[in-house]
Amino acid sequence: LAKEYGKLGKALGEGAGGNVKVVTRPRDKQIFAVKEFRQRFAHESAKDYSKKISGEYCIGLTLKHPNIVETIDIVYEKEKIYQIMEYCDYDLFAIVMSGKMSQDEIYCDFKQIMSGIRYMHDLGIAHRDLKLDNCCVTAAGIVKIVDFGSVSVFKYPESEIIHEAQGVVGSDPYLAPEVVHNLRYDPRATDVWSMAIIFCCMFMKKFPWKSPRPNDHSFQLFSDTRPEQLLDQANASATTEKKSRTPGPEKLFCNLPEEVRPLMRSMLLLDPVRRMDIFECFHDPWFESVEFCSIENGQVKRAAGHSHTSVNADEAHIAGLEKK
């Protein structure tokens, strides 16, 4: 690793699957992010461990999209396994917590992440662990999805069969309720729910609830008086009723700009069958109108009307924020 990519530098972040550090390649001084995979668990067979890591690496190699971090190489060294990836200047979590984001920047970042997820779903792959911590941002303002250790392949090429996922995977505040309550679930719908939570977090700088479980008071308020059968009337009620008198879910939506509420309502439907899928989201009138930064022919194409937030190097990544 050191010979080809340089010595491990400062920590960028850490998760259940391993920790990520920065390296600078000696021959051309190019910076990369390196994930050192976790050690094999005592109860885990060597075969299962190898399958998990090679699976994550292969998925990463397969995904080629401007809004997905590029996976470059894998290095086996003694007892350790390292994955080499494209380096991003900032973690989205750090940018959000800076409190400097404009409304148009939030819209842009959201549409960029949604574009990456649409690409994944089109390939038959669901992420299953979408959260601010798993999105990073380049200096040019391009948002990239990272960490494919929890993905679910729900559809294989040349097949029309949808394979359900199982198990509680992801972080509590971002979980869709069916992940907690159902033995099996459609992972496409859970990604859509998590994306709506990401949007709420970017806008409000806090989670709507800690967990989508009945014992969470905030989630209980959201779901108890859920007027899903009154969706058509929700637009009018949200603007005319005072916040204190709005039904449970509208208390959340009242914190969001009026134009985004119809989409958020459809992405946060408790019933995953009725929840909007990623492709339908792109036909929402507000969402269609959002100008977003992109990459075309290798060049960054900036959207008009906004700039992207930058933060100091010691606050750019989650590891730096945790030290503070």
Which residues touch 280 (CB under 8 Å, ≥6 apart)? 266
**Residue 35 among known ligand-binding residues:** yes
Distance of alpha carbon 166 from alpha carbon 156, whole angstroms: 17
Distance of alpha carbon 293 from alpha carbon 71, whole angstroms: 22
Phi/psi of residue 100, nearest 5 degrees: -100, -5
129 is catalytic: yes
Residue with the two structure tokens 């905030």: 218
H-run or E-run covering 34: strand 31-37
Q: Which of 89, 129, 147, 186 is catalytic?
A: 129
Whether the CB-CB separation of 73 and 294 falls below 8 Å is answered with: no
Helix (H, G, I), strand (E, B) or coil at 299: strand
Helix (H, G, I), strand (E, B) or coil at 137: strand
Q: In the Cβ-directed half-sphere of 81, how many Cα atoms lie within 13 Å? A: 15
Neighbours of 280 (CB within 10 A): 14
Distance of alpha carbon 40 from alpha carbon 38, whole angstroms: 7
Annotated binding residues for ATP, written as ranges, equal 35
Residues recognised as catalytic:
129
Annotated binding residues, written as ranges, equal 35
